[in-house]
A and B are shown apart, each in its own frame.
Chain A
Amino acid sequence: MSADYWSSSQRTKWQFNRQTLLDYRRKLLILERKMIHSGLIKDYPYVNYDWNMRIYLHNLIVKLGRRLNIRQVVLATAEVYLTRFLTKVSVKEVNVYLLVAACVYASCKIEECPQHIRLIVSEARSLWPEYIPHDTAKLAEFEFYLLEEMNLYLILHHPYRSLLQIQTFLKENYDTYAFVLTDDELQNSWSLISDSYITDLHLLYPPHIIAITVIYITIVLKKNSSSLKSNGNSVSIGADVNEKPQSGAIDSQNDPSAMEIEDLMTLSSSNPQEEPLAQTVSGATQLEVKSLSKIDRDTIRINKFMKFLNHSHINLDEVAESIQDMVNLYVVWNHYNENLVKKSLHRMLTNT
């Protein structure tokens, strides 16, 4: 249903569990092997749907979105389309640049801010002239295949709205929880959501789980908030890519995301409660013990947030798994090698 995630096609048609998603990907690999074996496609061993590729694709969408000056939610929809498509189609058999353009083109329409196909093509061509055909019919054609792979289930529910709903709820129930997100925290959670589109989270969990995940990461990392300034890593990485497209791995000295990654890593190792989150929250005493040794404002806030989580009946196992995915993302982001993807794709697409 359009108003309601629980009866939406997003949940009933396009939500996987980890096992089914894994099965899909395995089948896709088998298909890939078969196509290579029969000579339909060539094998380019470095063109894989791995973390490197995912971060690269995410950046492509962000770049095109910025050129077109379109809203975050529209990009988010495009990213989910991309992730869905690539559960059924191999990156070795398509032109991912055209795919990115098609996802953005379709999502603009579905989010009711349509852009003319010629504008999309010309902006995409100015970014990636060697990969985007001049003929708009090529993009239009790909849109058909894209929508077909999604079986025409197109309306999405994003965690951005859940985040705002949670904030509203916290404001309305301030008497009970004495906890709301500050503007910085909200902003930070917002940009964490934008990063989450690199992962499979949107194929696995309802939007509110992802919203809680980013709030948790934000609140627990409050003391490092200076490194988490608004639009922290996604923007900085995007900017980095924009300015020095030839540069390889991102210089971790200057990269604010690296700082955050370290924080997250220390967090996950020094905080034994973090893993079994459900346990932590249900046994709130555990946290109180901790707060005895180090009572500061942040700990009290974490405590209050935990109280809310405990009351919320939100599936905390899912939140814990989803936090783990986000942490993994930032770990691998630290080793992101843009040039490798870019060159491999170039070799594949120009057949050299």
Chain B
Amino acid sequence: MNHAYNQAASGGMNNQTQRTKGNMSALPTTSLMASSGILTLAPYKHRKDLVRESVLSKYEILGYIAAGTYGKVYKAKSKTSNKRKIGSDRTTGDVHNGQTSTSAIGMDREAGENAVRSESDQQLYAIKKFKSDNHSSKMNSHDINGNEVVNYTGISQSAIREMSLCRELSNRNVIKVIDILLENKAIYMVFEYCEHDLLQIIQCHSHPEIKHIPDFTIKSLVWQILNGVSFLHKNWIFHRDLKPANIMVSSSGVVKIGDLGLARRFNNPLQSLYTGDKVVVTIWYRAPELLLGGRHYTPAIDLWAVGCILAELLSLRPIFKGEEAKIDMSNKKQVPFQRNQIQKIVEILGTPNSKTWPSITMYPEYPTFKQCFGSNLPSNLSKWYELIGRTNQKCFNLLEGLFEYDPTERLAAENALLHPFFLEPPRVTENAFEGLKMKYPRRRIFTDDNDIVSNNNYAPHKRHAHDDNFTRKRQK
């Protein structure tokens, strides 16, 4: 069984055949069940539950990495050797990745990555355990001993999105799901493990004293982010929650875009994007068309967020650090006007108007915007760039392209990959850490709570700023 399941990602039909066989050989022969139990699937459930593999039988939990509203992420080690499987996955998976502009890197990326990929990374995983849906607290009861009895609640839209999209996607710069386990009313998504993320890297450079991230490192990181975003967009998916905390980096300097919990397909939506999710993207990274109440937005919202990430890599702090106006709990349908966030943007990029952004007048919040931001401020972006001590003009030009107010004029991911910044020397390296003197510490893990299977451990622990960002309320 174990063997068969391990091949799940590459085995296809063959694997399924083996699973079925396994089920049969493990068929229960003892208990007699009342046939009326069939109404609630008792015979079927019994058969399945007997052969289901436990997450703990496959993985050893090393500690937890972060906790958030979605649940908790654990660092884990495989109990059986999966090396061979990962190798075959990579070769089969990346055949289809359809990247553009590989010429910008111009070498066999596959071979390169495998060569630098460290041994230890291969056996490590990040296991994301989803918390059951929001109304669980109301529905859950307690058993005789006072332990919480968790009931099944529907799988959250966010978990469904992340699972279904991750199952289809295969790109070097998008996090790869290795396995998904459903066990005891909980969902475990097993991801490849990434030692770093951009939030941690940025913090590493800003504490205790400011040490700029070199241009060539930024170039590689941003190119890889754009490559992943371009791949998502070509597959008609937008991410809708790009921010430093969601950009993972492996120990070999490969960017992996993570957390697809807000991502969705946007081709041919059956209902408006707004109906599905009233608010998307964490406030500091939210594009102006969203802040103005746009309901039929485009993949350009992700490029704005990439712009914010680029700016943050350059200056080591969020460029538009606005304060979020909270949703009025008595009137949840009303999405508040994010005046302060728009203020922060206008201060640096100037006031948008119908000349620079012809469709701006069509946005629902335009009248409010007009009222609040009457004066016509010029752009201060070049001054900002100077002030943070940066000089590369092509990089500035890329930033400008990503910060285009008009979403139809904003750089698209595919075009951004061919931006002169990436074409001028030094060449984009496929290991972002190449030539970097700085050594980033390993991800901190907390070992006081390794109990992945119990259902009582969801209180988000605020440990340090890193966690804090993870627990920052998901904008939904």
Residues of A within 8 A of B (CB): 1-4, 7-9, 12-13, 15-16, 20, 23-24, 27-28, 30-31, 34-35, 38-42, 71, 73-74, 88-89, 93-95, 98, 105-106, 109-114, 117, 131, 133, 136-145, 147-148, 151-155, 161, 348-351
Contacts and interface: CB of A to CB of B under 8 A. Distances in A.
Nearest to A148: B182
21 contacts: A1-B168, A2-B168, A2-B236, A2-B265, A12-B12, A13-B12, A24-B16, A24-B20, A30-B24, A39-B33, A40-B46, A73-B270, A93-B47, A98-B40, A106-B155, A112-B264, A137-B151, A137-B153, A154-B164, A349-B38, A351-B34
B218 interface: no
Contact of A98 (B32, B41, B139): B41
Contact of B165 (A2, A15, A139, A145): A2
B155 A143 contact: yes
B95 to A, nearest CB: 8
B35 A1 contact: no
A40 B47 contact: yes
B154 interface: yes
A88 B19 CA distance: 10
Interface of B: 8, 12-13, 16-17, 20-21, 23-24, 27-29, 31-36, 38-41, 43-48, 96, 139, 151-155, 157, 160, 163-165, 167-170, 180, 182, 185, 234-237, 264-265, 267-271, 276
Contacts of B23: 31
B48 A148 contact: yes
A100 to B, nearest CB: 13
Contact of B154 (A13, A40, A117, A152): A117
B44 A93 contact: yes
B43 A38 contact: no
Contacts of A42: 35
Contacts of B270: 71, 73-74, 111-113
A41 B37 CA distance: 10
Given A12-B12, A31-B27, A145-B48, 18 more contacts: A2-B235, A2-B265, A3-B236, A16-B13, A24-B20, A38-B29, A89-B44, A113-B270, A117-B153, A117-B154, A137-B139, A137-B153, A138-B40, A143-B155, A145-B41, A147-B182, A350-B36, A351-B36
A3 B267 contact: yes
Contacts of B160: 106, 109-110, 154
A211 B429 CA distance: 45
B28 A38 contact: yes
B362 to A, nearest CB: 24
Contacts of A348: 35, 38
A117 B152 CA distance: 11
A117 B136 CA distance: 13
Contacts of A148: 48, 182
B155 A109 contact: yes
A142 B152 CA distance: 9
Contacts of B180: 151-152
Given A113-B271, A348-B38, A9 B168 contact: yes
A254 B385 CA distance: 77
Contacts of A350: 36
B24 A34 contact: yes
The 9 closest A-B pairs by CB, nearest first: A140-B152, A7-B96, A154-B164, A141-B152, A3-B235, A351-B36, A2-B235, A93-B44, A137-B151
Given A27-B24, A140-B154, A155 B168 contact: yes
Contact of B167 (A106, A133, A154): A154
A161 B265 CA distance: 15
Contacts of A3: 234-236, 267
A204 to B, nearest CB: 12
B32 A349 contact: no
Nearest to B177: A152
B152 A131 contact: no
Q: Which of B8, B44, B154, B157 has the most CB of A within 10 A?
A: B154
Contact of B40 (A89, A133, A351): A133
A177 B433 CA distance: 56
A107 B353 CA distance: 43
Contacts of B40: 95, 98, 133, 138
A77 to B, nearest CB: 11
A1 to B, nearest CB: 6
Contacts of A8: 168
Contacts of B168: 1-2, 8-9, 155
A89 B153 CA distance: 23
Q: Which of B16, B23, B157, B235 has the most CB of A within 10 A?
A: B16
A94 B165 contact: no
Contacts of B24: 27, 30-31, 34
A134 to B, nearest CB: 12
A1 B96 contact: yes
A9 B167 contact: yes
A88 to B, nearest CB: 6
A273 to B, nearest CB: 34
A35 B43 contact: yes
A131 B39 CA distance: 7
A39 B237 contact: no
Contacts of B45: 141, 145
Contacts of A131: 39
B50 to A, nearest CB: 11
Contact of B169 (A2, A74, A106, A154): A2
Nearest to A72: B270
Contacts of A161: 268
A40 B16 CA distance: 23
Contact of A40 (B43, B167, B170): B43
B35 A114 contact: no
Nearest to B231: A1
Given A27-B20, A137-B151, A1 B170 contact: yes
Contacts of A4: 96, 235
A152 B39 contact: no
Nearest to A130: B39
A151 B5 CA distance: 10
Given A112-B264, A133-B40, A138-B40, A144 B152 contact: yes
Contacts of A12: 12
Nearest to B273: A112
Contacts of A2: 165, 168-169, 235-237, 265
Nearest to A39: B32
Q: Which of A12, A28, A73 has the most CB of B within 10 A?
A: A12
A41 B35 contact: yes
Contacts of A13: 12-13
Nearest to A131: B39
A348 B151 CA distance: 27
A318 B169 CA distance: 28
Given A9-B168, A16-B13, A155-B167, A1 B235 contact: yes
Q: Which of A12, A40, A133 has the most CB of B within 10 A?
A: A40
A14 to B, nearest CB: 8
Contact of A112 (B27, B41, B96, B271): B271
Contacts of B152: 137-138, 140-141, 143-144
